[in-house]
Amino acid sequence: MLRPPGTLVADYLERRRGQILHPPHFFISCAFVQIAIGVEIVNATWAVTQFSQLPRWRSALRVSFVLGVGYGLLTALVGLERAVALLIPQMPT
């Protein structure tokens, strides 16, 4: 997934962009992932608050911790590049 910057720039300038992710597409993909994770935290916090009768801040802390551990384990098991590839969609060729 990661390539040396010199060849990457040359390929981009020669319009060989098969494996190059454009900056606007990368930004939109990252923003979408962050929003999706935020929505996941908000929904899970609401569910934990409703079912456990814990204060909202404690529910948010627990949910954030569990999601952080989960994404950390995903990264540890499959590697950072594969985890990023799973979370951020690839550019169509």
The residue range of the domain holding 52 is 23-87
The pLDDT value given to residue 71? 84
Could you give the number of structural domains in the chain?
1
Q: Is 65 part of a structural domain of the chain?
A: yes
Tell me what the mean pLDDT of segment 72-85 comes to: 84
Tokens of 54: 């814990």
Q: Is 83 part of a structural domain of the chain?
A: yes
Q: Is 48 part of a structural domain of the chain?
A: yes
Q: Is 8 part of a structural domain of the chain?
A: no
Q: Residue type at 55? A: P
- Lowest-confidence pick of 12-16, 31-35, 45-49, 55-59: 12-16
Three-state DSSP at 23 gives helix
The pLDDT value given to residue 70? 87
Please name the residues in contact with 1: beta carbons below 8 A apart, sequence gap of 6 or more: 81, 84, 85
To which residue do tokens 């916090």 refer? 45
Q: Is 58 part of a structural domain of the chain?
A: yes
Q: Quote the CA–CA distance of 21 and 31 in Å, as a whole number.
A: 15
